[in-house]
Each structure stands twice: as C-alpha cells, then as structure tokens.
Chain A
Amino acid sequence: MQSVQFEAPKTVDEAVALLAGAKGNARVLAGGTDLLVQLRAHMIDPSLIVDIKKIDETRSFKKNRDGSYTIGAAYAGAEATERDDITKDWPGVVEGWDLIGSTQIQGRASLGGNLCNASPAADSVPAMVAAGMTANIAGPKGRRTIPVEDIAVGPGKTSLAKGEFVVSFNLPARPKGGGDAYLRLIPRTEMDIAVVGCGVALVLDANGTVTSAKVSLGAVAPTVLVVKDAAKAIIGTKLDDAAMAKLDAACQAAAKPISDKRGTVEYRTKIAGVLARRAAKIAADRARSQ
C-alpha cells in the first residue's frame, strides 16, 4: 500500500478542490463502513482520502418549514432512527437505512456512503428512490441536483465526475395520504446483504384509491431499479387482488438478477414480486393510519 494523504476540509469548496486536484485515486470518507473495509482488504489503494464530516452541511439534518427534509450525506443511520420526525413521516426510508449492518455500523453508516458505494443491494437506496429523494452534488463546475436513482450506474460505479461528491439529500414532505415501506429478504433476521429489496411509496385519496406511486427494486439488477410498470399497475386502484397481481408481474418482469450464493435468478425474480406486494400493503396501511 502506498502512503495515503488524509485531509478533513471544513468547506465544500476545499473538498472539491482537493478531489479535483488529486493526482491518483481519491476517495471520499463519510462513515467509512465500506471505504475502510475495502482499504483493509486491499481492494482499493487510494492516494488521497477526503473526510467530509468536518463540513457542517454533510453532518446536518433539517426538517424544513414546508415539511421536506435536508439530510447531510454523512448523517448516520443511528442518529436518524433516534428522531421522531423522519421515523413518523418516512418510516420506509428509515427502515432501509436502519437495515445497514449492526448497531455499531449504524453509528457511522450514511446515506451518501451507501448510495455512492453503488452496491446493487444497498439497503437504503430503494426506499430513497421510492420517496423521490434527490442528491445535492458539489463539483468543480458548481452545484447540481439529480434524482438518487441517477447516481449509481453499475456495481461500484457512479455517474459522479472527478471532483464531485454528494453533499446532502432532499427528501420531500410526506404528501397527505402518503405512506412508504421498505422490505428486504435475507435468510436470517439481521446482519446480512439483501437477496432482494423493495421500496414502495404511494399516496391514497380519501376513498383509498392510489393516486400516485413509485416502486423500486434492489439486488435484482446492476443498479437499483425504478419499476414504472409496477407503479402503473396500482395507480387508480384500491390495491385489489387484480392490481396486486399486476404489480407482482411488473416487478418480476423488471427483475434481471444474477445467480449467486445468496439466491438464484428464479428465486430472486419470484421474491421481487412477493416483496413488492407486501411493501405496497404496508405502505397503504401506513397511509390510511396517518
């Protein structure tokens, strides 16, 4: 391993300048629960590590006046699960976040890191996508904001340009009649990587009809998927059996998994539909009990 330069800038501009000016391989350090594992396993050999946690914006958590949230990219899961506001407004987002690793991992693991590590099985991502979250990116050309689903482009690869990093996220206000949920399947109850994950966010009108929905699948393709046909299958319905069957079929059709030690193509495809049904039901129950 070569010697590593470590920097902990206090401003976004300094961080961008460091990352943009790096000669070799530069890495952003948020919670470190992926980065340090990769470093210790010699999977990566960076020349520069930029710890972004000294930048206030990456560590802040704010519920705005309009009910939306601005969440720092390095805000830890354990901090989020101790909050009453987001756990009530967006329980699905918190569920995904809270499933990343143990209590100890939760003490550090961040949304920014989980997203930019770009694992197809990242637990926080499907719920973030379903909730319509966007990422605020800073880089040499200034700031830009893009949907969360546009960050990962393949396993371990992101659309971020050299010098860019995710500073924070925008989470919309929970709509009236809105509910969300995230489910993952693992063969045990804790401490494992998703065989399949599914996030659903939907809005019900006063009659219980779905007026809008977003469905997202994890671990069944090179990136987390947005399944538009799955949303179409339930919009305008009361989640009756026929709508649920269409939702199931749409998710199975969208799933393009691989077979590995966690599950076969056939199993993952089937489970994608099952989890979507269950997550949609939980999201609808939450919307009704609001």
Chain B
Amino acid sequence: MLRDELNLTGSKEGCASGDCGACSVTVDGRLVCSCLVLGAECEGKSIETIEGMADGEKLHPLQQTFLEEAALQCGICTPGVLVAAKSLLERNNNPTETEVRYWLAGNLCRCTGYDKIIRAVMKTAAEMRGGA
C-alpha cells in the first residue's frame, strides 16, 4: 500500500515477515513493521514514514548525523533505522548504548555492522540534549 499505491517508496520491503525492520513506520506514534499491518487496519490512523522525517530541505538531526558519521553503506536498512531511532529518542532523549542496541535489535543491517549506526544515534541524542 505505502510503496505501490501511495508511491512512498522510502520504506523498504526487506523480509516481509517482520524480521528486518526496513519497513519501519509509526502508526499513531507507535513503531511497527509496516509489512505486518494491513492498509484496511489504518483507516483514520496517522502514519509517519521516512518521507516525513526531514523538514523540507532541512534534514532531521538523525539524518544529518548519519551522513556525517557515515552510518550507512547500501542504504536499504537506513530508512527503517532512522524511523526507529527517532521513535526511541522521542521516548528517551538520553538512552544508554545498551538501550539503543536493544531498541534497534529489530533493524537488520547487512553492510556496515552496527557500531557506526549506534554511535550516530548516541551522538545525535547528545547533540539534541545539548543544543536548541
């Protein structure tokens, strides 16, 4: 539905079984795998995808830091990781590394390994706490 009907192709279909997290979106603020949600269930609900993360040309701090820290390689997992990380930071602006790793355990990356991703999320959290 998101990709084929609405042309919102930012969310990736990886496994289509809820394992990889590449299709992560929020439904009424709750992080889910969109591959395991039927379109018909979402009537009247608010869905946020990666397309809504940047504010026009201005990237979300997580997106900016992922670029600066090279926290991606092929990029397939990245939209899901970013949506999931944003959901974490909205709930907890000062997560421990362990909390970040557990929160993102359902976002599989097969290129970079996870350290750069985790570091970028930790750095963004620190910057968002310190700045603005």
Contact = CB atoms under 8 A, between A and B. Distances in A.
Contacts, number: 78
| B contact face: mostly helix, strand, loop, or mixed | mixed
B21 A102 contact: yes
Contact of B106 (A6, A79, A103): A103
A108 B16 contact: no
Contacts of A107: 27, 30-32
Contacts of A103: 31, 84, 87-88, 102-106
A3 interface: no
A29 interface: yes
A37 B17 CA distance: 5
B40 A8 contact: yes
Nearest to A32: B36
Interface size class of A (residues with CB under 8 A): 20 to 34
A206 to B, nearest CB: 37
A36 B13 CA distance: 14
A86 interface: no
A67 to B, nearest CB: 28
B30 A78 contact: yes
B30 A40 contact: no
Interface residues of B, number: 27
A124 interface: no
Contact of A6 (B17, B21, B40): B40
B49 interface: no
A101 B106 contact: yes
A190 interface: yes
A8 B35 CA distance: 19
A33 B30 contact: no
Interface string B103-130: 1111100000000000000000000000
Contacts of A1: none
A189 B105 CA distance: 9
A190 B105 contact: yes
Given A101-B106, A103-B106, A76 B21 contact: no
Contact of A37 (B18, B102, B103): B18
Interface string B31-47: 11101111011010000
Nearest to A78: B30
B103 A108 contact: no
Given A104-B18, A104-B21, A8 B31 contact: no
Contacts of B38: 6, 29, 32, 36, 49, 51
B102 A32 contact: no
B105 A108 contact: no
B40 A191 contact: no
A214 interface: no
A49 B41 CA distance: 11
Contact of A104 (B40, B43, B84): B84
A43 B106 CA distance: 23
B78 interface: no
Contacts of B33: 102, 104-105
Given A8-B43, A102-B107, A107-B32, 4 more contacts: A8-B41, A32-B36, A103-B104, A105-B106
23 contacts: A6-B38, A29-B38, A32-B37, A32-B41, A36-B35, A40-B16, A40-B17, A40-B35, A49-B38, A51-B38, A76-B30, A102-B18, A102-B21, A102-B33, A103-B88, A103-B103, A103-B106, A104-B21, A104-B84, A105-B33, A105-B36, A108-B36, A190-B102
Interface of B: 16-19, 21, 24, 27, 30-33, 35-38, 40-41, 43, 84, 87-88, 102-107
